[in-house]
C-alpha cells in the first residue's frame, strides 16, 4: 500500500485518506472539526461521495499520525491506495441487514397483530417467545452497523447519531426479552425492528445516490491504461505498471493501445483518438516531437514515447482531480442536516435522561421510568427527517427516468431547482452533433461524380465520410469501382477511377466544415456540412426563460460555427473556450451570485460539468461526459432541459413540506412521550407513521415530469 502524501507547497503537504465508516453529515462535521483542532493540520476537507478526507498538514506529520488522529475521533482510516484508486460502494454492506430487518419486521408484526386483537394467556406468551426467537437475532444482526459506529464513538469518550439509536433499540429489546421471560403483557420487538428497517432503508437510498454521484470520476479512471511496455537503455522491453513509470522513461505504444502517461513521440507517427480528453471525434495525427496524452488511444501504428508526466501528474489525473474537487461542494440541505446533527445526539440523551430522572423522582419506579425513557429515545428517531430528502429524490428521479431523463446525483435536483443561468455547449448539445452534407450540393452532383464520392467516402472511418456515404446511399447512388485506394491521415482519401486520379480531401479553404471532391480533369466540388439544431430548441429556450433562466452558449468550437448557432437561436455566445475557460466562466457567474446549469457532452466539458451547480448531458455524449454530469437526457428534443428544471423545483417544494412534517411530528410527539402517554410500541408506530406520511407526500412527485 502506498500512501498518497504530496508536497502541496514548500510549507505543507497533502494526504488523502479513505474513511469507509462515515455515512452522514454528522460524520463530516466531526472529522473536519476534529482534525481542524489538531496541531500541524492546516485544513481537512471531506468528500462523502468518495468517503475520503483530504488533509493539508505540516510535512512533519506522517500518514500514520493522521490515521491515529482519525482513530481518536472515532473513525477507522487508511491512506488511499494510489492517486487514482476507486472507492468501495457503501450500499452493499447495508443490503443484508436491511433484508433481515425487513423480513423479521413483517413476521413479528403478524404476531403482534394477534396480540393486539386480544390474544391472552398462553397464546400471548407463545407469540412473545416466537417474536423473541425471531427478533433478538435479527436485531443483533441488522443493528450491527449502528452498534459498531456507536461503540467506536463511545470507547473514545464521544457520541454520534448512532448512540441514541443503539441505546433505544438495545433497551427496547432487553425490556421485551425481560417481559417475555417473566410473562408480562408488553413486548416491543416489532417497534425495534421497524425502527431499524426504516433507518437502514434511508441509509441505503442515501448511499445509492452518493454512489451515482461518484460514477463520473470512476468512468474517467477506467480509461487510464494499467501500464506500458518500457524500453530500456539496452533495448530490453519490460512491462511496467502506470504508477512505476517516471519522467524520462521510454514506452512503446502499439496500435490499438491506450497511453499510460503523457509524453513526447520519439519515433514513429500515428493518429490518436483524443475524444476522451477534448471531445473532438476526429483522430488527431502526431509524429516525432509532438505531445501525446495519457488515456488517448493510438489508432494506426506503433510509436515510442518519452514520458514527461506520469501518475497523478498527467492531464487525465488533473481532470479527475478537478471533478472530485467540485464534487466536495455540499448542498444547502446537507449543511442544515450537518448543523442539526451536532445537536441531535446530546439533545436526545438529555431528553431521555430528564424523562427517566423526572419519573423516578415522581415515584414511578425504575421499570416504568426506563420504559418512558426508551419511548422518548424511539419517538425522537430521525427516520422521517432522514427520509425527507432521499425518498423525494428517488421518486422524482423515477419520474424523470420515465420521461427519458436519468438522474445520477439525487442532490443535483436541489441544485437544479435553484439555477438561474444556463450555459450550453454547442456541438452535440445545442445541436445534434452530426454534421450533414448540404442536400442542395449533393443533388447537383452528376451521377458518376456522386458514385465516385460515395466510393471514396466508404473507404474512410472518419465521421464526416460516414455522414456523406450515408446521405449518398440514402439518395439511391451506387459506389463506383476504384483502384489504388489510400487514406492519408489528416488529408483525405485518394484513388484511381477509370484512369483518373480522384480524391475526397480537405479543401484549401472553407468557411466551416467541408470536403472537396476532386476528379482529375473536372472542376472541384466543395461539399459543405452543417450541424442541425436539436428539435424543439426554440420552445425549450422559451420555457427556460419563463422558468427564470438566462441562457448563453459556451463552446470550444471555432467562432464561425458558434456564430451561426447564436444567430439561429438568438443567444449570446462565447467561442473557442478551453476546459479551463469554461470553468472560469462558471466561477465568475457563481462569484456574482448566480447558480449555474452547465449542459455539455464531451470530456472537455467534464470539469465545467462538475464545477457548475448542476449539469446535464445528452445521451449521445462520450462515456465520460455522460458520467461526469448530474443528469442525462436520451431523447433528441431539447425540451428535456425545462422539464428537468420544473421537476427539480417541484421536488424541492416537497422536500420542504417533508421537513415541516418531520419537525412538526417531533414537536407534538416528544412532549407526549415525556409525559408518559406513549409506550415504546406506540412510539415506534408514531415514528413509522411519520415516515409513511413523508413517503406518501413524496410519491406525489411520480407525475412531476409530465
Q: In what order do the strands lie in the sheet containing 421-424? A: 405-407, 631-633, 614-618, 596-599, 421-424, 550-554, 573-574
How far are the Cα atoms of 50, 59, 64, 510, 576 from residue 70, in angstroms, in the given order?
17, 17, 10, 62, 46
Strands 421-424 and 596-599: parallel
The Cα 613–Cα 591 span in angstroms is: 12
How far are the Cα atoms of 160, 271, 585, 692 from residue 150, in angstroms, in the given order?
7, 57, 45, 27
Name, in order, each residue with C-beta under 8 angstroms of 618's C-beta and a sequence gap of 6 or more: 428, 429, 433, 599, 601, 632, 633, 634
Backbone phi and psi for residue 516, each to the nearest 5 degrees, phi listed first: -110, 130
DSSP states of 467-514 as a string?
HHHHHHHHTT--PPP-EEEEEETTTEEEEEETTEEEEEE--SS-SSSE
User: Is residue 425 annotated as a catalytic residue, yes or no?
Assistant: yes
Closest CA to 552 of 606, 580, 587, 589: 589
Q: Please, is 591 exposed, middle or buried when counting C-beta atoms within 10 Å of its C-beta (0-12, 13-18, 19+)?
A: exposed
| Chain centre distance of CA 213 | 1
The residue from 190, 206, 409, 425 that is catalytic is 425
Are 497 and 512 within 8 A, CB to CB? no
Are 673 and 371 within 8 A, CB to CB? no
Side-chain half-sphere exposure of 683, counting CA atoms within 13 A = 33
E-strand stretches of 490-608: 492-497, 500-505, 514-519, 525-530, 550-554, 573-574, 596-599
The Cα 554–Cα 556 span in angstroms is: 7
DSSP states of 48-60 as a string?
TTTTEEEEEE-TT
Sequence-distant contacts of 337-343: CB under 8 A, at least 24 apart: 337/24, 337/25, 337/26, 337/385, 338/25, 338/26, 338/28, 338/29, 340/385, 341/24, 341/25, 341/26, 341/29, 341/161, 342/26, 342/29
- 3-state secondary structure string, 378-434? HHCCCHHHHHHHHHHHHHHHHHHHHCCEEECCCCHHHHHHCCCEEEECHHHHHECCC
Closest CA to 688 of 108, 196, 195: 195
- The residues assigned a catalytic role are 425
Amino acid at each position: 500500500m502506498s500512501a498518497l502524501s504530496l508536497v502541496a507547497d514548500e510549507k505543507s503537504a497533502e494526504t488523502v485518506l479513505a474513511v469507509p465508516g462515515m455515512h452522514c453529515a454528522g460524520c463530516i462535521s466531526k472529522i473536519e472539526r476534529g482534525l481542524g483542532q489538531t496541531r500541524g493540520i492546516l485544513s481537512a476537507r471531506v468528500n462523502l461521495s468518495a468517503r475520503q478526507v483530504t488533509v493539508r498538514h505540516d510535512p512533519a506529520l506522517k500518514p500514520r499520525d493522521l490515521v491515529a488522529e482519525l482513530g481518536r475521533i472515532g473513525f477507522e482510516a487508511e491512506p488511499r491506495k494510489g492517486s487514482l484508486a476507486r472507492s468501495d460502494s457503501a450500499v452493499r454492506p447495508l443490503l443484508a441487514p436491511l433484508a433481515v430487518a425487513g423480513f423479521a419486521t413483517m413476521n413479528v408484526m403478524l404476531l403482534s397483530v394477534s396480540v393486539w386483537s386480544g390474544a391472552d394467556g398462553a397464546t400471548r406468551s407463545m407469540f412473545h417467545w416466537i417474536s423473541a426467537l425471531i427478533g433478538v437475532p435479527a436485531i443483533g444482526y441488522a443493528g450491527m452497523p449502528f452498534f459498531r459506529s456507536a461503540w467506536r464513538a463511545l470507547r473514545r469518550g464521544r457520541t454520534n447519531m448512532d448512540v441514541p439509536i443503539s441505546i433505544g433499540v438495545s433497551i427496547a429489546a432487553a425490556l421485551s426479552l425481560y417481559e417475555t421471560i417473566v410473562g408480562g403483557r408488553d413486548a416491543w420487538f416489532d417497534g425495534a425492528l421497524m425502527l431499524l428497517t426504516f433507518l437502514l432503508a434511508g441509509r441505503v437510498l442515501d448511499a445509492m445516490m452518493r454512489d451515482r454521484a461518484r460514477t463520473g470520476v470512476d468512468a474517467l479512471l477506467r480509461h487510464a491504461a494499467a501500464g506500458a511496455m518500457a524500453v530500456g537503455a539496452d533495448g530490453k522491453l519490460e512491462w511496467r505498471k502506470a504508477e512505476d513509470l517516471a519522467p524520462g522513461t521510454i514506452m512503446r505504444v502499439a496500435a490499438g493501445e491506450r497511453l499510460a502517461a503523457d509524453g513526447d513521440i520519439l519515433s514513429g507517427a500515428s493518429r490518436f483518438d483524443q475524444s476522451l480528453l477534448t471531445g473532438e471525434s476526429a483522430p488527431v495525427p502526431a509524429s516525432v516531437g509532438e505531445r501525446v496524452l495519457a488515456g488517448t488511444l493510438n489508432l494506426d501504428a506503433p510509436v515510442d514515447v518519452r514520458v514527461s508526466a506520469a501518475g497523478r501528474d498527467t492531464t487525465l489525473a488533473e481532470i479527475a482531480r478537478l471533478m472530485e474537487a467540485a464534487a466536495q461542494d455540499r448542498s444547502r440541505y446537507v449543511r442544515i442536516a450537518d448543523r442539526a446533527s451536532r445537536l441531535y445526539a446530546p439533545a436526545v440523551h438529555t431528553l431521555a435522561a430528564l424523562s427517566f430522572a423526572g419519573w423516578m423522582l415522581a415515584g414511578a419506579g425504575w421499570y416504568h421510568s426506563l420504559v418512558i425513557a426508551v419511548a422518548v429515545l424511539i419517538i425522537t428517531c430521525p427516520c422521517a427527517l432522514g427520509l425527507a430528502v432521499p425518498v423525494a429524490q428517488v421518486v422524482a428521479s423515477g419520474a424523470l427516468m420515465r420521461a427519458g431523463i436519468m438522474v445520477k446525483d439525487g442532490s443535483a435536483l436541489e441544485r437544479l431547482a435553484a439555477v438561474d443561468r444556463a450555459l450550453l455547449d454547442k456541438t452535440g448539445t445545442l445541436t445534434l452533433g452530426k454534421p450533414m452534407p448540404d442536400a442542395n450540393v449533393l443533388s447537383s452532383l452528376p451521377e458518376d461524380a456522386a458514385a465516385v464520392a460515395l466510393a471514396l467516402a466508404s473507404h474512410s472511418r472518419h465521421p464526416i465520410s460516414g455522414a456523406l456515404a450515408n446521405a449518398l446511399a440514402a439518395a439511391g447512388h451506387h459506389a463506383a469501382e476504384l483502384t489504388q485506394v489510400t487514406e492519408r491521415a489528416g488529408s483525405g482519401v485518394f484513388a484511381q477511377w477509370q484512369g483518373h486520379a480522384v480524391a475526397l480531401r480537405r479543401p484549401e479553404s472553407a468557411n466551416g466544415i467541408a470536403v472537396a471532391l476532386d476528379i482529375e480533369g473536372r472542376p472541384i466540388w466543395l461539399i459543405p456540412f452543417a450541424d442541425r439544431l436539436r428539435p424543439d430548441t426554440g420552445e425549450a429556450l422559451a420555457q427556460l426563460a419563463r422558468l427564470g433562466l438566462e441562457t448563453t452558449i459556451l463552446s470550444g468550437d471555432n467562432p464561425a460555427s458558434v456564430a451561426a448557432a447564436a444567430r439561429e437561436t438568438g443567444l449570446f455566445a462565447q467561442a473557442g473556450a478551453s476546459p479551463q475557460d469554461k470553468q472560469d466562466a462558471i466561477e465568475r457567474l457563481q462569484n456574482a451570485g448566480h447558480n449555474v446549469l452547465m449542459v455539455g457532452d464531451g470530456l472537455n466539458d467534464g470539469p465545467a460539468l462538475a464545477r457548475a451547480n448542476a449539469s446535464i448531458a445528452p445521451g449521445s455524449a462520450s462515456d465520460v461526459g455522460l458520467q461526469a454530469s448530474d443528469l442525462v437526457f436520451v431523447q433528441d428534443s431539447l425540451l428535456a432541459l425545462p422539464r428537468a428544471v420544473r421537476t427539480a423545483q417541484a421536488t424541492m417544494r416537497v422536500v420542504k413540506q417533508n421537513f415541516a412534517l418531520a419537525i412538526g411530528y417531533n414537536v407534538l410527539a416528544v412532549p407526549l412521550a415525556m409525559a408518559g402517554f406513549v409506550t415504546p410500541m406506540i412510539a415506534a408506530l408514531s415514528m413509522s407513521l411519520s415516515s409513511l406520511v413523508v413517503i406518501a407526500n413524496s410519491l406525489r412527485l411520480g407525475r412531476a415530469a409530465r
